[in-house]
Amino acid sequence: MWRYIGRKLFVYLLTFVIAVTINWMIPRFMPGDPVRSMLSRASVGNPEALQRMNDYYTGVFGLDTPLHEQYLAFWAGLLRGDLGVSVMLFPQPVLDIIMRSVPYTLGLLLPAILLSWIVGNRIGAFAARKKLLDNTILPVGYILTAMPYMWLALLLAWSLGIVAGVLPTAGGYAPSLRPEFSWLFISSLISHWFLPFLSMFIVALGGWAIGMRNMIIYELEADYSNYLQALGAPTRLIRRYAFRNAMLPQITGLAVQLGTVLSGALLTEIVFNYPGLGTLILQALNNRDFFVLQGTFLFVVVGVLIANFIIDIVYVLVDPRTRVQMTGGAA
């Protein structure tokens, strides 16, 4: 068991180091100088003044040292939790900016992923039992899962937001409110959260439902199901066994899907101008703020790695076979 976790940890650590290195390289080997583009916005006429401002800010961002020193400094900063200083929000630390956006993204992602997974599995399992439901849910599920996140988001924003006018289409809360702990503000938060959540929920739902339906049909035709049936076990019991077995590939699927769901979430945020990491990435891109970009990507990578790790452990706990195999292997 511990050897399994240890091995997994090593793989994740390696992935992390590679991800950080690539992450560090991207802004530094991309064309264009972040400091100069920041200064070009100031439209300074005097070339001497521009040179002095350039030198000053290059020093501030630590871009004047040799590359290997920059790389080591980046790791040192990373371990201290220091991701550098933002260009667009100079002189705010990148970490502060990201931490302001993270709650919004997590608030969207976690409910959307978990609820769609749970509900999708239930619907799928349900559909596998009833011909009529199967005939309706299956095609709907295929359409939903084939839908790009962004497109559904636009569709929802247009229909429920602009045409029906029931739900707000942009922002994290109404611009007429001051952030505070009041019913008015919280209800505004919820109503602004709902459409982005719904669009992610719906797209993810279809995939899980189809997967589950197929798995249940497969399991119900497996030998053990037939055997149980022959023994005269109640259908309820057989279905429960089938459901538990069908869950396992779905858990693996969750780990595999995380990355897709996450990028979908980033796009959805942009459509709804929701103040999470996706919108932050767009703003950072618009302002050539490589330091914020770098920090955000790092955050996303770490998040996906942690989530995968958790799923790995959950898998061991849920599936007795892996557990037995592992303890057997260790002995």
111 neighbors 202 (Cβ within 8 angstroms): no
In the complex, what is the shortest distance from the CB of residue 307 to another protein, in angstroms, rounded to a whole number?
22
CA distance 211 to 215: 6
Q: Which among 12-20, 278-286, 293-301, 306-314 is the span making contact with another protein, rule CB under 8 A?
A: 278-286
CA distance 331 to 326: 9
Answer for which of 12, 71, 142, 194 binds another protein (CB under 8 A) is 194
> By CB under 8 A, is residue 167 in contact with another protein?
yes
Answer for which of 11, 63, 78, 88 binds another protein (CB under 8 A) is 88
Per-residue mark of binding to another protein, 121-150 (x: CB under 8 A)? -xx-xx------------------------
Report the residue number, 99 or 143, with the smaller CB distance to another protein: 99
In the complex, what is the shortest distance from the CB of residue 174 to another protein, in angstroms, rounded to a whole number?
7
> By CB under 8 A, is residue 29 in contact with another protein?
no
150 neighbors 268 (Cβ within 8 angstroms): yes
The CA-based dihedral angle spanning residues 289, 291, 294, 300, taken in that order and rounded to the nearest 10 degrees: -90
In the complex, what is the shortest distance from the CB of residue 217 to another protein, in angstroms, rounded to a whole number?
16
Answer for which of 10, 56, 75, 151 binds another protein (CB under 8 A) is 56
244 neighbors 220 (Cβ within 8 angstroms): no
In a 3-state reduction of DSSP, which class is residue 181? coil
How many residues of this chain interact with another protein, rule: CB under 8 A?
77
Answer for which of 49, 76, 110, 314 binds another protein (CB under 8 A) is 49
Report the residue number, 71 or 194, with the smaller CB distance to another protein: 194
37 neighbors 290 (Cβ within 8 angstroms): no
Residue found under tokens 């690539």: 22
Is the four-CA dihedral 303, 304, 305, 310 of positive or negative sign?
positive
> By CB under 8 A, is residue 7 in contact with another protein?
no
105 neighbors 115 (Cβ within 8 angstroms): no
> By CB under 8 A, is residue 119 in contact with another protein?
yes
In a 3-state reduction of DSSP, which class is residue 213? helix
> By CB under 8 A, is residue 184 in contact with another protein?
yes
Q: Which two tokens stand for residue 117?
A: 């997974």
Q: Which among 10-18, 76-84, 154-162, 216-224 is the span making contact with another protein, rule CB under 8 A?
A: 154-162
Answer for which of 5, 8, 11, 37 binds another protein (CB under 8 A) is 37
CA distance 319 to 313: 10
> By CB under 8 A, is residue 236 in contact with another protein?
no
